[in-house]
Structure 1
Amino acid sequence: MPVAREDVTTPVIIGRSSSHFTRIARMFAAELRVDYSFRVLRDLLSSNPEDYGGNPALRIPVMQTSRGVWFGALNVCRELRRMSSLTPRVVWPEDLEAPVLANAQELVLQAMSTEVTLIMSKLGGTGESAHQSKMRTGLVSMMSWLEENTTPVLAALPPDRDLSFLEVTLFCLVKHLEFREVLPTASYEELNAFCQRFETRASSQETTFRFDT
C-alpha cells in the first residue's frame, strides 16, 4: 500500500535498481543531497496502481512526499531540486534552445522508452513482431545519431552547469543498454568516453545498476 501523505517525513522513491528511469531520479537525489527511502517495485507485470505509488500509468519512478506524489523521472527530479538546500546550476530540458541539444534530449528519452518496450515484450514471453523489429531499428538509428553528435552536444551545454538532465539521462541510457544487453555498445566510442568521465561522479557510483533481490 502507498505511504499515507501524512506519514511521509522522508521522501519515498518507488522503483527498481535495474531501471534507468529510476536511476535518473536517484542520481539527482545524490547530486542534490536529498535523503530518501527506496521502495522496490517487485512485480514489473503488476497492473495494480497501488504497487506504483498510485501512478495510473503503471510506470516508475514515483516519489511520495509530504506535499504529494510525483509521477515520472523529470517530475521527481524537479521536486528534488526544490527540496534541496543546495543551489546548483541545473540545466533542464526547457533550457535546451539549440536544435542539437533539444534533439539529443528527445532522442535519449525516446530511446529509453523504446528500450523499456523491448524489454517488457521479452519479459512477457512474446516473440519479436514487425512493430518491435521497427522499434529496434529505430533504437539503433537513435544511438548512431547520439554517437555522431556527442561532442557537439556536450560542447553546446552551458559551461557553468553543475548538472544537466540531458547528461544524466544519456549516461543512464548507455549504461542500461549495456546492463540489459539490449544493444551492443562497444562500438560507441564517443558515448563510452562520455560515460567513463561521468561515472566518476559519486552519484553514479552510488546507483550502479543491479537486480533487486
Structure 2
Amino acid sequence: MTAALEGPTPPVIIGRSSSHFTRITRIFAAELRVDTTFQVVRDLMSSNAEDYGGNPALRIPSMRTPGGVWFGALNVCRELWRQSPLKPRVVWPEDLAVPVLANAQELVLQAMATEVSLVMAKVGGGEVTAHQAKMRTALVNMMAWLEENAGAFLAALPPQRDLSFLEVSLFCLVAHLEFREVLPTAPYSELTRFCRAFAARASVSETPFRFDP
C-alpha cells in the first residue's frame, strides 16, 4: 500500500491573539502570504518553557518550523520573509540608518515591553509600586516622543518599500494601548492618523486583537 503524500508542514506561531508582539508576526505572515497555524499560550503565568515553544525567556511569540523554533517577533518575521514566495521589499531595523528612525524603533519596542510589564502588574493586583509608577511615566514620555516625531520618522522611511518592521510594530503598539486600556490614544493625533491609514491593509482586518477563549 502506497503512503499518501503529505504537503509541507506550515509554521506554527505560538502566542496569544491579545498580544501586540504576536500580532506583529501575524500581520507579517498575512502580508507575506505565508500559511501558518496558531497555537495559543493558555497560561501566561506558566513557568514551563515548553508552553512558549521552548523559549527559555518564557515569552511570546515563538514559531515552530521543520527547521527549528524561532524566538521573538523579529526573528519570526525574518523567517516568514525567507519562506515567503513574494520576497517583498521590507525595511528592517538595521536599515534605519538615521537617528530619528533608529530611535523611533527603539522606543516602540521599549514601549511595547513596558506596556507588557504594566499589564502583568495590573493582573497580579496589589498596590502600585514606585517602579510601576516610573514605568508608566516612561511609557507616557515615549508616546509623547513618538507623537512629536511621527511625521519626521515616517517621512524618513525609504519610499520604495512594501512593508517595514517599524510601521507594523508602531501600529500594534498604539492599537494595543487602547485594547488593553493602558493609555487613551486620542491625544496622539499623528499616531492615530497613521493607525487609521495603516488599518486599511487586509492584514490588519485579518488579525484583530481579541482575548482567546
Q: TM-score range by the shorter chain?
A: over 0.9
Matching residue of 1:69: 69
Report the alpha carbon displacement of residue 124 of structure 1 after superposing the two structures with TM.
1.4
Partner of 2:171: 171
| Aligned twin of 2:52 | 52
Corresponding pairs, count: 206
Other structure's SS at 1:59 match: coil
Post-superposition CA distance 1:145-196 (Å, at most 9, x none): 0000110111000001100000000000000000000011111000000000
CA distance in 2, matches of 1:203, 1:117: 27
Residue of structure 2 in register with 1:119 after alignment: 119
116-125 or 63-72, larger mean C-alpha shift: 116-125
| Unaligned runs of at least 5 residues, structure 1 | 1-7
Q: Which has the larger displacement, 112-121 or 8-17?
A: 8-17
Q: SS of the residue aligned with 1:26?
A: helix
Partner of 1:128: 128
TM-score (norm 2): 0.96
Query: Which ranges of structure 2 fall in alignment gaps of 5 or more residues?
Result: 1-7
- CA deviations on 1:15-58 (whole Å, 9 max, x unpaired) are 00000000000000000000010000110111110100100000
Tell me the equivalent position of 1:25: 25
CA positional deviation for 1:127: 2.2
For 1:66 and 1:43, the matched residues in 2 are separated by 25
SS in 2 for 1:131: helix
Give, in whole Å, the separation in 2 of the partners of 1:118 and 1:40: 21
Between the aligned residues of both structures, percent identity stands at: 75
Structure 1 residue 136: Cα displacement: 0.2
Alpha-carbon separation, structure 1, partners of 2:74 and 2:184: 27
Partner of 2:9: 9
Q: Following superposition of structure 1 onto structure 2, how do residues 151-166 of structure 1 map, counting pairs within 5 Å?
A: 151-166=151-166
Cα RMSD, aligned residues only: 0.8
3-state SS, counterpart of residue 128 of structure 2 = coil
Which AA in structure 2 matches 1:55? N
Give 1:4's aligned residue: none
DSSP 3-state at the match of 1:64: strand
Pair 1:35 & 2:32 matched: no
Q: Which residue of 2 aligns with 1:184?
A: 184
Report the Cα distance in structure 2 between the residues aligned to 1:104 and 1:126, rounded to whole angstroms. Answer: 33
Is the partner of 1:34 in helix, strand or coil? Answer: coil
Q: Secondary structure at the match of 1:146?
A: helix
| One-letter amino acid matched to 1:206 | E
Q: Normalising by structure 1, what TM-score?
A: 0.96
Structure 1 CA distance for aligned equivalents of residues 62 and 127 of structure 2: 30
Higher-Rg member (1/2): 2
- Letter of the 1:147 counterpart: E
Which amino acid in the other structure matches residue 98 of structure 2? A
Secondary structure of the corresponding residue to residue 63 of structure 2:
strand
2 CA distance for matches of 1:56 and 1:124?
22
Alignment deviations for residues 94-135 of structure 1 (CA, whole Å, 9 cap, x no partner)? 000010000000000000000000001111123211011000
